[in-house]
Amino acid sequence: MKPQEAFEPELEELLDRHAQAFERAYGPGGKVRLFFAPGRVNLMGAHLDYNGGPVMPMAIDRGTFVALRPRKDRLLVMRSTSESGEFRFDLDAAPRAATGNWVDYPLGVALEVFRESPRAVGLEVLFGGNLPVGAGLSSSASICVGTAFSLDKVWGLELTPFARVEAALRAERQFVGVQCGIMDPYAVGLAKRGHLLWLDCKDASIEHLPIDHRAVRIAVADTGVRRELAAGAFNQRVTEARRAFEALRGFVPGSTHLRDVSSAVFASHADELDPVLRARARHVVHEVERTFAARDALLSGDVERFGRAMFETHVSLRDHYQVSVPELDCLVEAAAREPGVLGARLTGAGFGGCVVMLLRAGAEVEVAERVSRAFEQAFQRPARIEVFRGDPGPREWVR
Ligand code: GLA
């Protein structure tokens, strides 16, 4: 078994408060167990997961808190600190269809995991956390993987990390009904401290690549823009990328994803494509090459080159994939003017949410002040900028 991973003192304090919230919600007594699962940023490989390409996400030290306590019966009772209401499900007669509520995420996972252990006891569960929802930091993968991890521990199933990630993914795709790619649950569930995850989404193979936290910092700037339309626009990009691949696959024998189309093949046939599909394919084929080059840069310690690739990614997301908004562009442009910033781009699907920045260590305070000021001048409100540490992934806090 892995040795217990340390928790930062601030996180311990938040988890302690979460335990108190649990007792207020369900009453005192019994042994309450506490779990944490991180969110993630994606540094390179934007919109590549569902195109079968490589991605480079990193888990962050903000995420989901899960407090739970076994019951004597077979009821699964779930609440959240940020939503009202209590949801009760009989494990022997659990619903087969989603309820249309936040609880669908953990419920979908519970139904997946429960199959492995039909004699599992009922539970009282309280969810909470310190990750903004809808900001592109993967709150849904965090709650799903966090649920899989904690149920695995409390029900004694001994699932592998891959099995937990797959349960989270099936819940989100089949039960909640979101056609998400594989990056987010992998980034959350297979994280390693001090490393980025290298995930090749064509065959789901992974590697952990070290990132030198003494030399660089990861900061996230939140536009505060939350788009209701984002899910529809995201699914539209998935469809467009699939159509672009259908138009090009005949030129690449054996290809299974748009990622198999090289930039040379794309260049020879770009004129034959519909303009929208051409723009989407242009982003994908170049992003694949950029992500491989960024990997080489990281492995050779060239963080400047890695950062330049992030800026190029943002331009391509803005102009070709068209998933940026003026607030995101403003933050990236302000970041590009700062000598302490190595790279910046929107993270997650886009259409609002956050920009992720790679900073030289020591530049955090100045960059945060200046980028936030530039944003405020343009939009008359501050952008929230925070420095995140990498995170080792889901774990239990044993007090
Ligand atoms: C969202 C999806 C991910 C990925 C990114 C874009 O965050 O959940 O699977 O497609 O967008 O890189």
Per-residue confidence (pLDDT) for residue 229, from 0 to 100: 57
Per-residue pLDDT of 355-386, as tens digits, reads 999 999 999 999 999 999 999 999 999 999 99
Using CA positions, which residue lies closest to atom 10 of ligand 1? Answer: 47
β-sheet bridge partners, residue 18 = none
Nearest Cα to 79, choosing from 106, 113, 99?
A: 106
Per-residue pLDDT of 134-167, as tens digits, reads 888 999 999 999 999 999 999 999 999 999 999 9
Which whole number is the average pLDDT over 67-86? 95
What's the one-letter identity of residue 186?
Y
Per-residue pLDDT of 185-230, as tens digits, reads 999 999 999 999 999 999 999 999 999 888 999 999 999 998 765 6
What's the one-letter identity of residue 372?
S
If one residue of 47, 186, 201 were mutated to test the ligand 1 pocket, choosing by the most ligand atoms within 8 A of its CB, it would be 47
Per-residue confidence (pLDDT) for residue 8, from 0 to 100: 85
**Pairing of the two strands 75-80 and 123-129:** parallel
Q: In the structure encoding, which two tokens stand for residue 138, read together? A: 């993967």
Per-residue pLDDT of 324-346, as tens digits, reads 999 999 999 999 999 999 999 99
Residue bearing tokens 């980028």: 371
Q: In the structure encoding, which two tokens stand for residue 333, read together? A: 């442009």
CA distances from 43 to 4, 84, 206, 269 (A): 28, 34, 16, 29
| Residue 138 CA, ligand 1 centroid: distance in Å | 8
Q: In the structure encoding, which two tokens stand for residue 235, read together? A: 């699914």
More confident residue, 231 or 182: 182
| Residue 311 CA, ligand 1 centroid: distance in Å | 18
Using CA positions, which residue lies closest to atom 6 of ligand 1? Answer: 47
What's the one-letter identity of residue 38?
P
Using CA positions, which residue lies closest to atom 12 of ligand 1? Answer: 47
pLDDT level of residue 2 (50, 70, 90 thresholds): very low
Do 211 and 196 meet the contact criterion of CB atoms below 8 Å apart? yes
- Known catalytic residues are 184
Alpha-carbon gap, residue 70 to 320, rounded angstroms: 51
Alpha-carbon gap, residue 134 to 101, rounded angstroms: 15
DSSP 82: T
β-sheet bridge partners, residue 318 = none
Sequential DSSP letters for 271-317? GGS-HHHHHHHHHHHHHHHHHHHHHHHHHTT-HHHHHHHHHHHHHHI
Alpha-carbon gap, residue 40 to 50, rounded angstroms: 17
Using CA positions, which residue lies closest to atom 8 of ligand 1? Answer: 180
| Nearest-atom index, ligand 1, CA of 45 | 12
Do 257 and 202 meet the contact criterion of CB atoms below 8 Å apart? yes
Which whole number is the average pLDDT over 19-45? 97
| Residue 395 CA, ligand 1 centroid: distance in Å | 24
Nearest Cα to 242, choosing from 49, 75, 50, 4?
A: 50
| Residue 137 CA, ligand 1 centroid: distance in Å | 10
| Residue 382 CA, ligand 1 centroid: distance in Å | 26
If one residue of 40, 41, 43, 49 were mutated to test the ligand 1 pocket, choosing by the most ligand atoms within 8 A of its CB, it would be 49
**Pairing of the two strands 341-346 and 216-222:** unpaired
CB-based pocket (< 6 A), ligand 1: 42, 46-47, 49-50, 180-181, 183-184, 348-349
pLDDT level of residue 93 (50, 70, 90 thresholds): confident
Per-residue confidence (pLDDT) for residue 1, from 0 to 100: 42
- Domains of the chain (ranges plus CATH)? 3-203+392-397 (3.30.230.10), 216-388 (3.30.70.890)
Using CA positions, which residue lies closest to atom 3 of ligand 1? Answer: 181
Q: What 3-state DSSP class applies to 200?
A: strand
Which whole number is the average pLDDT over 25-39? 96
Half-sphere exposure of 3 (CA within 13 A, CB side): 2
Residue bearing tokens 């995930």: 199
| Nearest-atom index, ligand 1, CA of 350 | 11
Using CA positions, which residue lies closest to atom 11 of ligand 1? Answer: 349
Per-residue confidence (pLDDT) for residue 290, from 0 to 100: 98
Alpha-carbon gap, residue 389 to 63, rounded angstroms: 12
Per-residue confidence (pLDDT) for residue 230, from 0 to 100: 64
DSSP 390: B
Per-residue pLDDT of 216-268, as tens digits, reads 999 999 999 987 656 788 889 999 999 999 999 999 999 999 999 999 999 99
pLDDT level of residue 117 (50, 70, 90 thresholds): confident
| Nearest-atom index, ligand 1, CA of 50 | 10
